[in-house]
Amino acid sequence: MTRSEDDRLSQIFAALANPTRRAILARLAEGEATVNELAEPFEMSLPAISKHIKVLERAGLITQGQKAQFRPCTIDITPLEEISRWTEQYRHIWETSFDRMDDYIHQLSGNQPKET
């Protein structure tokens, strides 16, 4: 992994480390929305929401037109695919854990552990 890929992953993870920003993404997954529409469900000022939107935009998670208040925001799922790929490299560990638990349950119930 190059330095810039590493920095990019850090930026995506940091952008996702906030419940309001994740809620904004969940809203945009249903379709595009203006900043005003995004601000509505939150007890937050428009500048506060705009700040969150900027963090998501810098991480590449949303795209937005130039006239921020009126142009709709759109979700871009490319960074989420990157996160998903990064997480996948650890899948073999949790699948091994499930196999071990499965063997243990077999043993408890008096059966032989399954062949691996």
Residues in touch with a copy of itself (CB under 8 A): 6-7, 9-11, 13-14, 16-19, 22, 25-26, 29, 75, 77-78, 80-81, 83-84, 86-91, 93-94, 97
Report the alpha-carbon distance of residue 46 to residue 108 in Å, rounded: 57
Q: Tally the residues of the chain.
A: 116
Report the alpha-carbon distance of residue 103 to residue 109 in Å, rounded: 10
Q: Identify the bridge partners of residue 65 per DSSP, sorted by sequence position.
A: none
Instruction: Compute the least distance from the CB of residue 79 to a copy of itself, in Å.
Output: 10
Output 13 or 70, the one with its CB closest to a copy of itself.
13
Report the alpha-carbon distance of residue 25 to residue 32 in Å, rounded: 10
Instruction: Compute the least distance from the CB of residue 44 to a copy of itself, in Å.
Output: 15
Instruction: Compute the least distance from the CB of residue 98 to a copy of itself, in Å.
Output: 10
